[in-house]
Amino acid sequence: MRRSRFSEAAIYTWKAKYGGWEVSEARRLKALKAENTRLKNPLSHEGHVMDQKRLHRLHT
């Protein structure tokens, strides 16, 4: 049996949740979660950089 760093319970939970999925479906879910996190975060990198530039102009 191959040893992994994951517990059997973790593997069982993962298989129950994602076992029937294709790889492309799992990748799409990961991309959607990343996009959702980025959109929910008001200080996303792009917005944060723009806000820093605006604040710098106001204070100079």
pLDDT in tens, 16-34: 988 888 989 989 999 999 9
Q: Which helix (H) or strand (E) holds 37?
A: helix 23-40
0.85 exceeded by the pTM?
no
Task: Supply the pLDDT for residue 41.
Answer: 78
For a pLDDT cut of 90, what percent of the chain falls above it?
A: 28
The answer, yes or no, to whether residue 4 has pLDDT greater than 90, is no
Q: Are 18 and 26 in contact (CB under 8 A)?
A: yes
How far apart are alpha carbons 15 and 10 in whole angstroms?
9
pLDDT for 3: 72
For tokens 């799992």, name the residue: 26
Amino acid type, 21: W
For the chain, the structural domain boundaries read 22-60
Question: To the nearest whole number, what is the mean pLDDT of the chain?
Answer: 80
